[in-house]
Amino acid sequence: MEQPGELRFDRASDLLERHRTRLRTGCARMDEVLGGGLLDRGITEIAGEASAGKTQLALQLIFQVQLPRSEGGLQGGALFLHAEGGEAPVKRLRQIGSAFARRWSSAGATVDRLCDNVFIDRIETADLLMNALRYRVPTLLATRAVRLVVIDSIAALFRTHLDDDLPRRSELLHAIAAEMQALSDRMHVAFVVLNQITDSVDTPDTPDAACTAVPAVSKRAALGLAWSHCVNTRLLLSRAQARPFAPPRLQPQLAQLGGALAEQQPRPGARVELRTMRVVLSPCVEQRSCEYVIDADGVRDATDDETAHG
Protein backbone atom coordinates (compact mmCIF):
# COMPACT_ATOMS: atom_id res chain seq x y z
CA MET A 1 0.00 0.00 0.00
CA GLU A 2 2.75 2.41 0.98
CA GLN A 3 5.26 2.97 -1.75
CA PRO A 4 8.60 4.49 -0.91
CA GLY A 5 9.02 7.61 -2.96
CA GLU A 6 12.23 8.43 -4.67
CA LEU A 7 14.82 9.65 -2.21
CA ARG A 8 16.05 13.10 -3.10
CA PHE A 9 19.20 14.81 -1.96
CA ASP A 10 18.96 18.59 -2.00
CA ARG A 11 21.45 21.19 -0.95
CA ALA A 12 20.18 23.36 1.90
CA SER A 13 20.92 26.36 -0.35
CA ASP A 14 18.44 25.02 -2.96
CA LEU A 15 15.79 24.50 -0.28
CA LEU A 16 16.24 28.03 1.01
CA GLU A 17 14.13 29.76 -1.64
CA ARG A 18 11.61 26.93 -1.86
CA HIS A 19 10.87 26.94 1.86
CA ARG A 20 11.16 30.64 2.67
CA THR A 21 7.40 31.17 2.17
CA ARG A 22 5.31 31.79 5.28
CA LEU A 23 1.54 31.89 5.69
CA ARG A 24 0.68 35.21 7.34
CA THR A 25 -1.87 35.04 10.14
CA GLY A 26 -3.35 38.47 9.40
CA CYS A 27 -2.17 39.75 12.77
CA ALA A 28 1.08 41.68 12.34
CA ARG A 29 2.45 41.15 15.84
CA MET A 30 1.77 37.41 15.67
CA ASP A 31 3.57 37.25 12.32
CA GLU A 32 6.52 39.11 13.80
CA VAL A 33 6.82 36.67 16.71
CA LEU A 34 6.49 33.75 14.26
CA GLY A 35 9.24 35.11 12.02
CA GLY A 36 6.87 36.11 9.21
CA GLY A 37 3.99 33.67 9.72
CA LEU A 38 3.31 29.95 9.86
CA LEU A 39 5.49 27.46 8.00
CA ASP A 40 3.87 26.55 4.66
CA ARG A 41 4.41 22.84 5.33
CA GLY A 42 4.45 20.39 8.20
CA ILE A 43 2.26 20.42 11.28
CA THR A 44 1.46 23.57 13.25
CA GLU A 45 -0.52 22.99 16.41
CA ILE A 46 -2.70 25.68 17.93
CA ALA A 47 -3.47 24.72 21.52
CA GLY A 48 -5.55 26.61 23.99
CA GLU A 49 -8.37 26.51 26.49
CA ALA A 50 -12.00 26.69 25.39
CA SER A 51 -12.83 30.05 23.76
CA ALA A 52 -9.19 31.16 23.67
CA GLY A 53 -9.70 31.83 19.96
CA LYS A 54 -8.32 28.64 18.40
CA THR A 55 -11.16 28.11 15.94
CA GLN A 56 -11.33 31.85 15.28
CA LEU A 57 -7.64 31.91 14.28
CA ALA A 58 -8.03 28.74 12.23
CA LEU A 59 -11.01 30.16 10.33
CA GLN A 60 -9.05 33.33 9.63
CA LEU A 61 -6.17 31.23 8.25
CA ILE A 62 -8.67 29.53 5.93
CA PHE A 63 -9.15 32.94 4.25
CA GLN A 64 -5.56 34.16 4.62
CA VAL A 65 -4.33 31.11 2.69
CA GLN A 66 -6.40 32.23 -0.32
CA LEU A 67 -4.51 35.51 -0.66
CA PRO A 68 -1.88 35.84 -3.36
CA ARG A 69 1.67 35.06 -2.27
CA SER A 70 2.57 38.76 -2.45
CA GLU A 71 0.02 39.36 0.34
CA GLY A 72 1.28 36.51 2.54
CA GLY A 73 -1.15 33.83 1.37
CA LEU A 74 -0.47 30.56 -0.43
CA GLN A 75 -2.90 31.12 -3.29
CA GLY A 76 -5.01 28.07 -2.53
CA GLY A 77 -8.14 26.83 -0.85
CA ALA A 78 -8.56 25.11 2.50
CA LEU A 79 -10.01 21.91 3.92
CA PHE A 80 -11.62 22.03 7.34
CA LEU A 81 -11.93 18.68 9.12
CA HIS A 82 -14.41 19.07 11.92
CA ALA A 83 -14.23 16.67 14.87
CA GLU A 84 -15.57 18.69 17.80
CA GLY A 85 -19.13 18.11 18.99
CA GLY A 86 -21.98 20.02 17.40
CA GLU A 87 -22.26 21.52 13.96
CA ALA A 88 -19.31 22.68 11.92
CA PRO A 89 -18.88 26.44 12.49
CA VAL A 90 -20.24 27.34 9.05
CA LYS A 91 -22.01 30.46 10.31
CA ARG A 92 -18.86 31.83 11.91
CA LEU A 93 -16.91 30.95 8.81
CA ARG A 94 -19.29 33.09 6.75
CA GLN A 95 -19.14 35.96 9.21
CA ILE A 96 -15.36 36.05 9.18
CA GLY A 97 -15.49 35.60 5.40
CA SER A 98 -17.69 38.69 5.06
CA ALA A 99 -15.35 40.83 7.13
CA PHE A 100 -12.40 39.45 5.18
CA ALA A 101 -14.11 40.15 1.82
CA ARG A 102 -14.76 43.76 2.91
CA ARG A 103 -11.10 44.21 3.74
CA TRP A 104 -9.95 42.74 0.42
CA SER A 105 -12.83 44.04 -1.75
CA SER A 106 -10.39 46.12 -3.80
CA ALA A 107 -8.73 42.86 -4.87
CA GLY A 108 -12.10 41.51 -6.02
CA ALA A 109 -12.76 39.27 -3.02
CA THR A 110 -16.37 38.34 -2.37
CA VAL A 111 -17.62 36.20 0.48
CA ASP A 112 -19.13 33.65 -1.93
CA ARG A 113 -15.94 33.25 -3.88
CA LEU A 114 -13.92 32.93 -0.66
CA CYS A 115 -16.24 30.31 0.84
CA ASP A 116 -16.29 28.41 -2.44
CA ASN A 117 -12.62 27.53 -1.84
CA VAL A 118 -13.32 26.01 1.57
CA PHE A 119 -14.14 22.33 1.88
CA ILE A 120 -15.67 21.03 5.09
CA ASP A 121 -15.82 17.42 6.21
CA ARG A 122 -16.75 15.74 9.45
CA ILE A 123 -14.38 13.21 11.03
CA GLU A 124 -15.47 11.24 14.11
CA THR A 125 -12.49 9.18 15.22
CA ALA A 126 -8.75 8.90 14.87
CA ASP A 127 -9.08 5.80 12.68
CA LEU A 128 -11.42 7.67 10.34
CA LEU A 129 -8.93 10.55 10.15
CA MET A 130 -6.19 8.06 9.21
CA ASN A 131 -8.47 6.67 6.52
CA ALA A 132 -9.30 10.16 5.21
CA LEU A 133 -5.62 11.16 5.10
CA ARG A 134 -4.77 8.02 3.14
CA TYR A 135 -7.57 8.05 0.58
CA ARG A 136 -10.06 10.93 0.51
CA VAL A 137 -7.81 13.90 1.25
CA PRO A 138 -5.20 13.03 -1.43
CA THR A 139 -8.01 12.76 -3.98
CA LEU A 140 -9.29 16.21 -3.06
CA LEU A 141 -5.78 17.67 -3.05
CA ALA A 142 -5.11 16.19 -6.48
CA THR A 143 -8.13 17.88 -8.04
CA ARG A 144 -8.34 21.19 -6.17
CA ALA A 145 -5.59 23.63 -5.27
CA VAL A 146 -5.86 23.22 -1.50
CA ARG A 147 -2.90 24.60 0.48
CA LEU A 148 -4.17 24.31 4.06
CA VAL A 149 -5.83 21.52 6.03
CA VAL A 150 -7.29 22.39 9.43
CA ILE A 151 -8.19 19.68 11.94
CA ASP A 152 -10.49 20.87 14.75
CA SER A 153 -9.45 19.19 17.00
CA ILE A 154 -7.01 16.31 17.37
CA ALA A 155 -7.96 15.82 21.04
CA ALA A 156 -11.63 15.35 20.12
CA LEU A 157 -10.66 12.46 17.82
CA PHE A 158 -9.24 10.55 20.76
CA ARG A 159 -12.13 11.09 23.18
CA THR A 160 -13.32 7.51 22.70
CA HIS A 161 -9.85 6.06 23.15
CA LEU A 162 -9.26 4.36 26.44
CA ASP A 163 -6.57 5.98 28.52
CA ASP A 164 -5.04 2.67 29.53
CA ASP A 165 -3.87 1.85 26.01
CA LEU A 166 -1.25 4.57 25.76
CA PRO A 167 1.22 2.66 23.55
CA ARG A 168 -1.50 2.12 20.95
CA ARG A 169 -2.49 5.79 21.12
CA SER A 170 1.12 6.88 20.79
CA GLU A 171 1.59 4.67 17.73
CA LEU A 172 -1.59 5.97 16.11
CA LEU A 173 -0.54 9.58 16.73
CA HIS A 174 2.85 8.95 15.12
CA ALA A 175 1.17 7.23 12.17
CA ILE A 176 -1.23 10.16 11.68
CA ALA A 177 1.64 12.66 11.92
CA ALA A 178 3.73 10.68 9.40
CA GLU A 179 0.78 10.58 6.99
CA MET A 180 0.34 14.36 7.31
CA GLN A 181 4.07 14.96 6.80
CA ALA A 182 4.12 12.83 3.66
CA LEU A 183 1.00 14.55 2.26
CA SER A 184 2.42 17.94 3.17
CA ASP A 185 5.57 17.36 1.12
CA ARG A 186 3.91 15.57 -1.76
CA MET A 187 0.94 17.93 -2.23
CA HIS A 188 2.43 21.19 -0.85
CA VAL A 189 -0.15 21.61 1.86
CA ALA A 190 0.25 22.91 5.42
CA PHE A 191 -1.51 21.26 8.35
CA VAL A 192 -2.93 23.29 11.22
CA VAL A 193 -4.10 21.06 14.04
CA LEU A 194 -6.10 22.46 16.94
CA ASN A 195 -5.66 20.88 20.35
CA GLN A 196 -7.25 21.21 23.75
CA ILE A 197 -5.25 21.78 26.89
CA THR A 198 -5.36 20.20 30.27
CA ASP A 199 -4.53 21.82 33.58
CA SER A 200 -1.68 20.30 35.44
CA VAL A 201 -0.87 21.03 39.03
CA ASP A 202 2.13 18.75 39.43
CA THR A 203 5.73 19.60 38.59
CA PRO A 204 5.46 22.26 35.90
CA ASP A 205 8.72 21.40 34.16
CA THR A 206 7.67 18.15 32.63
CA PRO A 207 8.51 18.08 28.95
CA ASP A 208 5.16 18.79 27.33
CA ALA A 209 4.32 21.48 29.83
CA ALA A 210 3.34 24.66 28.11
CA CYS A 211 3.62 26.92 31.09
CA THR A 212 1.59 30.07 31.20
CA ALA A 213 2.45 33.09 33.25
CA VAL A 214 0.44 31.64 36.12
CA PRO A 215 2.72 29.83 38.52
CA ALA A 216 1.82 26.49 40.14
CA VAL A 217 -0.80 25.60 37.52
CA SER A 218 0.65 24.72 34.14
CA LYS A 219 -1.44 24.45 31.02
CA ARG A 220 -0.30 21.68 28.78
CA ALA A 221 -1.52 20.51 25.44
CA ALA A 222 -3.56 17.31 25.48
CA LEU A 223 -2.34 13.92 24.16
CA GLY A 224 0.96 13.94 26.01
CA LEU A 225 4.59 13.59 25.15
CA ALA A 226 4.19 11.35 22.09
CA TRP A 227 2.09 13.94 20.26
CA SER A 228 4.38 16.78 21.37
CA HIS A 229 7.18 15.07 19.43
CA CYS A 230 4.96 14.96 16.33
CA VAL A 231 4.23 18.67 15.87
CA ASN A 232 6.74 21.00 14.22
CA THR A 233 5.36 24.15 15.82
CA ARG A 234 3.14 24.55 18.88
CA LEU A 235 1.33 27.81 19.63
CA LEU A 236 -0.49 28.29 22.90
CA LEU A 237 -3.42 30.70 23.01
CA SER A 238 -4.75 31.95 26.32
CA ARG A 239 -7.13 34.58 27.59
CA ALA A 240 -5.17 36.94 29.74
CA GLN A 241 -5.99 36.75 33.42
CA ALA A 242 -7.74 39.56 35.27
CA ARG A 243 -7.92 41.88 32.31
CA PRO A 244 -10.82 44.32 32.35
CA PHE A 245 -12.95 43.99 29.27
CA ALA A 246 -16.45 44.92 28.11
CA PRO A 247 -18.68 46.89 30.53
CA PRO A 248 -20.99 44.84 32.77
CA ARG A 249 -24.07 45.32 30.58
CA LEU A 250 -22.37 43.29 27.85
CA GLN A 251 -21.35 40.45 30.15
CA PRO A 252 -24.37 38.13 29.81
CA GLN A 253 -24.20 38.40 26.06
CA LEU A 254 -20.51 37.62 26.11
CA ALA A 255 -21.06 34.55 28.22
CA GLN A 256 -23.67 33.40 25.73
CA LEU A 257 -21.42 33.93 22.76
CA GLY A 258 -18.35 32.36 24.24
CA GLY A 259 -15.37 33.80 22.44
CA ALA A 260 -17.24 34.48 19.25
CA LEU A 261 -17.39 38.23 19.16
CA ALA A 262 -17.20 38.25 15.41
CA GLU A 263 -20.70 39.55 14.75
CA GLN A 264 -20.49 42.11 17.51
CA GLN A 265 -19.37 45.50 16.30
CA PRO A 266 -17.30 46.99 19.09
CA ARG A 267 -19.53 49.46 20.90
CA PRO A 268 -18.31 52.89 21.82
CA GLY A 269 -16.45 52.71 25.08
CA ALA A 270 -16.45 48.90 25.18
CA ARG A 271 -13.05 47.34 25.42
CA VAL A 272 -12.28 43.91 24.06
CA GLU A 273 -10.42 41.25 25.95
CA LEU A 274 -6.66 40.96 25.53
CA ARG A 275 -5.42 37.50 24.70
CA THR A 276 -1.93 36.04 24.50
CA MET A 277 -0.29 33.85 21.89
CA ARG A 278 2.87 32.07 22.95
CA VAL A 279 5.29 30.10 20.77
CA VAL A 280 5.96 26.95 22.81
CA LEU A 281 7.72 24.76 20.25
CA SER A 282 9.32 25.91 17.02
CA PRO A 283 12.23 24.76 14.89
CA CYS A 284 12.95 28.32 13.76
CA VAL A 285 11.90 31.03 16.22
CA GLU A 286 12.43 31.77 19.90
CA GLN A 287 9.83 31.09 22.56
CA ARG A 288 8.16 34.50 22.57
CA SER A 289 4.64 35.71 23.07
CA CYS A 290 2.44 38.56 21.91
CA GLU A 291 -0.98 39.97 22.66
CA TYR A 292 -3.93 40.07 20.32
CA VAL A 293 -7.65 40.78 20.37
CA ILE A 294 -10.62 39.21 18.64
CA ASP A 295 -13.28 41.50 17.23
CA ALA A 296 -15.52 41.88 14.20
CA ASP A 297 -12.50 41.81 11.89
CA GLY A 298 -11.27 38.56 13.40
CA VAL A 299 -7.91 38.11 15.09
CA ARG A 300 -5.93 41.35 15.06
CA ASP A 301 -3.25 43.29 16.90
CA ALA A 302 -4.10 44.88 20.19
CA THR A 303 -3.89 48.64 19.66
CA ASP A 304 -1.63 50.68 21.92
CA ASP A 305 -4.69 52.03 23.63
CA GLU A 306 -5.98 48.58 24.53
CA THR A 307 -2.59 47.40 25.72
CA ALA A 308 -2.18 50.48 27.89
CA HIS A 309 -5.58 50.11 29.51
CA GLY A 310 -5.40 46.37 29.74
Partner 1 sequence: MAVSFPVAALVVPQEVKAKLLAHDYQSSADVLAVTPVQLSRDCAMSTSDAQRVSAASASASQPHALLAGAKTALELLDEERAEHPIVTFCKELDDVLGGGIRCKQITELCGEPGAGKTQMAMQLALDVQIPVELGGVGGQALYVDTEGSFVPDRVEQMARALCTHLRAAAAHSGSAADLAAAQRVSASGLLDGIHVCRVHSHREQVALVRMLPAFLAAHPLVRLVVVDSIAFHFRHGFDDYGARTRLLLSHALALLRVAVRHALAVLLVNQVTTKLAQPAPGSTAAGADADGGASVIAPALGETWAHVANTRIQLLKARVGAELERSALVDKSATTPRVSVAFQVTADGVRSARRRTAKRVLDELNGGAHGEQRVWQ
In whole angstroms, the minimum distance from the beta carbon of 170 to partner 1 comes to 7
**Rounded CA gap, 94 and 115, in Å?**
7
CB within 8 Å of 180: residues ≥ 6 apart? 43, 133, 149, 191
- For strands 190-195 and 43-48, give the pairing: parallel
State CA 171 to chain mean position distance.
Answer: 23
Query: Among residues 240, 294, 308, 285, which one has the least CA distance to residue 92?
Result: 294
Candidate residues 56, 184, 195, 238; the one interacting with partner 1 per rule CB under 8 A: 184
Cβ proximity to partner 1, 286 vs 304, nearer residue: 286
At residue 67, what are phi and psi to the nearest 5 degrees?
-65, 155
**Quick check: 283 binds partner 1 (CB under 8 A)?**
yes
Candidate residues 2, 87, 304, 305; the one interacting with partner 1 per rule CB under 8 A: 2
- For strands 218-221 and 209-210, give the pairing: antiparallel
Cβ proximity to partner 1, 18 vs 113, nearer residue: 18
Cβ proximity to partner 1, 108 vs 167, nearer residue: 167
**Quick check: 43 binds partner 1 (CB under 8 A)?**
yes
DSSP-derived secondary structure letter, 113: H
**Rounded CA gap, 57 and 45, in Å?**
12
Instruction: Calculate Rg over the CA atoms of the chain.
Output: 19
**Rounded CA gap, 178 and 227, in Å?**
11
Q: Which range binds partner 1 by CB under 8 A, 54-62, 115-123, 138-146, 207-215?
A: 207-215
Contacts of partner 1 in 148-177 (CB under 8 A): 170-172, 174-175, 177
Candidate residues 42, 48, 259, 298; the one interacting with partner 1 per rule CB under 8 A: 42
Contacts of partner 1 in 218-257 (CB under 8 A): 224-226, 228-232, 234
Cβ proximity to partner 1, 10 vs 87, nearer residue: 10
Residues that bind partner 1 (CB under 8 A): 2, 4-5, 7-13, 15-16, 18-20, 35, 39, 41-43, 170-172, 174-175, 177-178, 181-182, 184-185, 202-208, 211, 224-226, 228-232, 234, 280-281, 283-287
